[in-house]
Structure 1
């Protein structure tokens, strides 16, 4: 049996070997050059409340209230622990060097298309312009394609959010269209742009990066 599996693996394409046989619901700790992505916990609450209580952050994402209180942070950590949605992962973005909390990111399955997940992320304003969002997104994207049987990852950003659009484009996403989504902090709808990264494109980009 082991020999048969070995022969099968050798005969499959690089793309197919990176695809799992079934959806995995686990959310492994992710390591990158400067970051550790792990589950949010109680020790993050004060830093989370401090960084998230910022209109410049809250108005750029859809589900963050403003003002953002310690109670909101506590509720977020609790819901992240109790999350029962298969395939959804919520991560705290922290510095590998000292564990400092920088923001959050995650993936969530599309309820209408099992082959697609959506990525989201935010970084506290004092940590902007240092490449942390792009680094976290790369780690999350690689995990999603390697551990889940998905065809593509979607990303959305507010039309005025130039920095987030730059992160999305650096990760290889392609523009798909525009639309409107509700924003809790704004108290209404906001215009967004929609981008998609498919598995084939990710594999090409991954091969290019690995071959440098």
Structure 2
């Protein structure tokens, strides 16, 4: 599966076994691992292979869609996912990370815009939630720029990197997405 927009520098594509080496390389960065709950550190190729197998199964079952983020030339630069799809309540969670050398270029924002379009327009969901570890200012800014609203902080919700951490919750609903020109995706396909 591929999600793209001609005007964007990135596209999303189903993750596959060929991505394992790049996933391991980027995920073995403490700055990334410290901001992604449940991501082991150090991160090995075995972790990456196991993750890819899990992602492929979940996509087949249509429970999650873990997509590789790629530059137009095909280079893998990160991950973006819609997970925990709840068709009864028409909601899901979104998560993402971009490799350090690709930060501050707008790639994460484009990836999340593509995934939101997929979630709202293809999956017909009504609500997308994002959880961000307190202190991950880059992610908080990205979500704010795309119209997500902070909905609260869960104290010591996540045990990660050997300690309990607070988790900020953000959300966006279909009507906010539809009314927000900043996140429209013209030429999506």
TM-score range with shorter-chain normalisation?
0.7 to 0.9
* Distance in 2 between residues matched to 1:144 and 1:112, nearest whole Å: 11
1:108 aligns with 2:86: no
Name the residue aligned to 2:173.
198
Structure 1, unpaired ranges of 5+: 1-27
Question: How many Å apart are 1:207 and its aligned residue?
Answer: 8.6
Report SS of the residue matched to 2:144.
Answer: helix
Name the residue aligned to 2:4.
31
Question: Cα–Cα, structure 1 residues 78 and 132, in superposed 2: closer, same or farther, change >3 Å?
Answer: same
Match among 38, 45, 48 for residue 70 of structure 1: 45
Name the residue aligned to 1:54.
29
Question: How many Å apart are 1:191 and its aligned residue?
Answer: 0.9
Higher fraction of strand: 2
Larger Rg: 1
1:162 aligns with 2:133: no
Describe the superposition over 1:75-118 as per-residue Cα deviations: whole angstroms up to 9, x where unpaired: 1111111225534100010111x211111010113559632111
> RMSD over aligned Cα, in angstroms?
2.2
Question: Cα–Cα, structure 1 residues 115 and 135, in superposed 2: closer, same or farther, change >3 Å?
Answer: same
Question: Cα–Cα, structure 1 residues 112 and 204, in superposed 2: closer, same or farther, change >3 Å?
Answer: closer
Structure 2, unpaired ranges of 5+: none
Question: How many Å apart are 1:150 and its aligned residue?
Answer: 2.1
